[in-house]
Amino acid sequence: MAGEPRVTIWNEYRHEKNDENVVEIYPEGIHGALAAMLKEAGFRVRTAILDEPEHGLTDEVLNTTDVLLWWGHMAHDEVSDETVDRVHERVLGGMGLIVLHSGHFSKIFKALMGTTCDLKWRHDDTERLWVIAPGHPIAEGLGEYIELEEEMYGEPFEVPQPDELVFVSWFGGGEVFRSGLCYRRGRGRIFYFRPGHEENPSYHNPDVQLVIRNAVRWAAPTPGATPVYGHAEPIE
């Protein structure tokens, strides 16, 4: 891949239009905040939102996307199955996918995981994300942990065992959560990253931003051989 990955940030973009508290934190939307900090880091960035035609995820957009970020919460069901199928196919074909916070219940994440992706939750807690894999590229440049005021997500988190576990979160209310999970599916890489409740300013936190930038680089495609499927003549 020549140059920095081409990133598309997908956002449901509902809370930030309707809820004053959220508007104050993310006046340009969550996608706007993420786009600004990724552009500053040199990535080529676009955004797409639910209310655009084809939810902004046309063939043309996906064909020129190396890594897709996904934030959704209250309107998962409004995402069309056609769009989900298209994104699913691209991920298996090599496009990176970073699923953020309440995106755990998005159609695309559930389809890729094959499980309910269910969990516990509660607003207004203290979260401390501990680095479990200190040599992992997604943790590069961090200290021992990241501390945030956040919504709590608690175990059990019904997802397949990740290929790599990068963060585990501690919550003040007494829970724990696997909060940074790496998966390979087909030729694509998927990273689930827990923080990002719309009422907390986590995407303005420098360490959270660093993790997302690291994750974009980690998730970018490394095009190997195009796999060959179907009927095959014997080699021997």
Nearer to a copy of itself, 53 or 227 (CB): 227
Q: Residues 42 to 101: which contact a copy of itself by CB under 8 A?
A: 92, 94
Of 3, 53, 135, 206, which lies in the binding site for a copy of itself, with binding defined by CB under 8 A? 135
Distance (Å, whole) CA 47 – CA 196: 17
Nearer to a copy of itself, 3 or 174 (CB): 174
Closest approach, Cβ 156 to a copy of itself, in A, equals: 5
Backbone phi, psi, residue 66, to 5°: -90, -40
Q: Considering the rule CB under 8 A, would residue 187 count as an interface residue with a copy of itself? A: yes
Tokens of 8: 């598309």
Task: Select from 194, 198, 197, 186 the least CA-distant residue to 212.
Answer: 194
Q: Considering the rule CB under 8 A, would residue 21 count as an interface residue with a copy of itself? A: no
CB-CB neighbours of 44 under 10 Å: 15
Of 11, 169, 200, 205, which lies in the binding site for a copy of itself, with binding defined by CB under 8 A? 169
Q: Considering the rule CB under 8 A, would residue 199 count as an interface residue with a copy of itself? A: no
Closest approach, Cβ 77 to a copy of itself, in A, equals: 16
Q: Considering the rule CB under 8 A, would residue 235 count as an interface residue with a copy of itself? A: yes
Task: Select from 186, 192, 169, 189 the least CA-distant residue to 227.
Answer: 186
Nearer to a copy of itself, 63 or 226 (CB): 226
Task: Select from 130, 80, 108 the least CA-distant residue to 183.
Answer: 108
Asked if 89 and 65 count as a contact pair (C-beta separation under 8 A), the reply is no
Backbone phi, psi, residue 205, to 5°: -75, 125
Q: Which of these segments, 23-31, 72-80, 135-143, 195-203, binds a copy of itself (CB under 8 A)?
A: 135-143
Q: Considering the rule CB under 8 A, would residue 105 count as an interface residue with a copy of itself? A: no
Nearer to a copy of itself, 35 or 117 (CB): 117
Distance (Å, whole) CA 110 – CA 112: 5
